[in-house]
Amino acid sequence: MPKFLPTSGKAFQLILCGPTMVKEMEITKVSIRDRLIADLKVIMENPRDYDFSPRAEIDNTTLLIKNNEDDNSTTSFELDSEMMQIVERDRMVELRVKFNVEGMHGVLLHRHPNPRDGPKSKKLAQPSWKTILPLDL
Per residue in 72-123, pLDDT (tens digit) is 788 999 999 999 999 999 999 999 999 887 666 555 566 666 666 677 766 6
Sign of the Cα torsion 36, 29, 26, 107 reads positive
To the question of pTM greater than 0.75 for the whole model, the response is no
Number of residues assigned to the chain: 137
Round to whole Å and give the CA distance between 116 and 111. 12
Check residue 48 and give its pLDDT: 74
Round to whole Å and give the CA distance between 107 and 18. 26
Q: Quick: pLDDT tens for 13-44.
A: 444 455 557 888 999 999 999 999 999 998 88
Cβ pair 42, 99 in contact under 8 A: yes
With a cut of 60, say whether residue 5 has pLDDT above it: no
Check residue 75 and give its pLDDT: 92
